[in-house]
Amino acid sequence: MTLNEAIAAVKPADKAAYEAAKKRWDSIAKPLGSLGLMEEAVCRMAAMKGSSKFDINKRAVVVMCADNGVVAEGVTQSGQEVTAVVTENMSSGDTSVCCMARAARADVVPVDIGVCRPVVGDKIRQRVIRRGTDNMAVGPAMSREEAISAIEVGINIVRELAEEGYTLLATGEMGIGNTTTSAAITSVLLDKEPAEVTGRGAGLSSEGLKKKIGAIERAIELNKPDKNDPIDVLAKVGGLDIAGLAGVFIGGAVFGIPVLADGFISCVSAIVAQRICPAAADYVLASHASKEPAGVLVTEAMGARPFLYADLCLGEGTGAVAVIPLLDMALAVYEGMSTFEDINIDAYEHLT
pLDDT digits (tens, 9 = 90+) for 62-108: 999 999 999 999 998 888 999 999 999 999 999 999 999 999 999 99
Task: Over range 157-183, report the average pLDDT.
Answer: 97
Residue 145 has pLDDT above 90, yes or no: yes
Read off the pLDDT of residues 206-234 as tens digits, 9 standing for 90 and up. Answer: 887 899 999 999 999 999 999 999 999 99
Read off the pLDDT of residues 232-269 as tens digits, 9 standing for 90 and up. Answer: 999 999 999 999 999 999 999 999 999 999 999 999 99
**What pLDDT does 39 receive?**
98
Residue 7, CA distances (Å) to 46, 272, 327 in order: 21, 13, 28
Please provide the average confidence, as pLDDT, over all residues in the chain. 96
Task: Over range 104-133, report the average pLDDT.
Answer: 98
**What pLDDT does 118 receive?**
97
Residue 133: count other Cβ atoms within 10 Å of its Cβ.
31
**What pLDDT does 141 receive?**
98
State the virtual CA torsion across 154, 158, 159, 160 in degrees, nearest 10.
100
326 Cβ contact partners less than 8 Å away, ≥ 6 residues apart? 38, 41, 307
Q: Cα(285)–Cα(269) distance, rounded to whole angstroms? A: 13
Q: Helix (H, G, I), strand (E, B), or coil: what is residue 261?
A: strand
**What pLDDT does 247 receive?**
98
Q: Is the dihedral of CA 112, 117, 120, 121 positive or negative?
A: negative
As a whole number of Å, the end-to-end CA separation of the chain is 48
Residue 204 has pLDDT above 80, yes or no: no
Q: What percent of the chain clears pLDDT 90, i.e. is strictly above it?
A: 90
DSSP string of 22-39? HHHHHHBSS-TTTTTHHH
- Give catalytic residue positions: 316
Q: Cα(172)–Cα(174) distance, rounded to whole angstroms? A: 7
Q: Cα(102)–Cα(93) distance, rounded to whole angstroms? A: 9
Any idea what the Cα angle at residue 132 is, between residues 129 and 136, rounded to 5°?
Answer: 115
- What is the reported pTM? 0.96
Domains of the chain, by residue range, sit at: 59-327
Question: Which CATH number, 3.40.50.1980, 3.40.50.10210, 3.30.540.10, 3.40.220.10, labels domain 59-327?
Answer: 3.40.50.10210
Residue 279, CA distances (Å) to 86, 184, 260, 270, 284 in order: 33, 24, 16, 12, 10
Q: Cα(251)–Cα(238) distance, rounded to whole angstroms? A: 20
Residue 352 has pLDDT above 90, yes or no: no
Helix (H) or strand (E) holding 192, with range, is none
Tally of CA atoms within 13 A in the half-sphere of 156 that contains its CB: 16
Read off the pLDDT of residues 10-53 as tens digits, 9 standing for 90 and up. Answer: 999 999 999 999 999 999 999 999 999 999 999 999 999 999 99
